[in-house]
Amino acid sequence: MFIRLFLFLIFLPLMGCASIGNPKVADFNPATQIEYGKTTKAEIIAMLGEPNSKTYGPNGEEDWGYTYVQYQVKPATFIPVVGIFAGGSDVSGRNLIFIFDKNGVLQKQGSGESQVKGTSGRKMRRFIKEEE
């Protein structure tokens, strides 16, 4: 019984983590790693790998999108009864967009970040009531 409890406590933090997308996106700094009018598609692939999405414009331009999202469940969520009041999850993400001309040279770049801190149970219901 003690061994089961010990193993449960060791692996508890690992049960509530997940990520989607390209982890290189989280640490990518466009200001120091790219140059407009010079950086090519091949160089972006070398830095970040293949994009999550590609769209094509009418004049031969190409938009590449990279995404990374990390989801973490708060440890209190797994505690019976306590999880109802103190549980929840946190989600953070980052997007990068690169726009190339018809020759495959970078013309524009954009990025965005988001964070959502979530709660569960009674706290969430109370929050919704206050917002109405």
Provide the residue-wise pLDDT of the chain in tens; the chain has 132 residues. 556 655 555 555 555 677 778 889 888 888 888 999 999 999 999 999 999 999 999 999 999 999 998 887 777 666 777 666 667 777 888 999 999 999 999 999 998 888 777 655 444 444 444 444
How many angstroms separate the first and last alpha carbons of the chain? 47
Query: What per-residue confidence (pLDDT) applies to 77?
Result: 66
pTM for the whole thing?
0.68
Rounded to whole angstroms, the Cα distance separating 34 from 38 reads 8
Query: What per-residue confidence (pLDDT) applies to 96?
Result: 94
- 105 within 8 A of 37, measured Cβ to Cβ: yes
Buried b (16+ CB within 10 A) or exposed e, 99-130: bbeeeeebeebeeeeeeeebbbbeeeeeeeee
Query: What per-residue confidence (pLDDT) applies to 31?
Result: 83
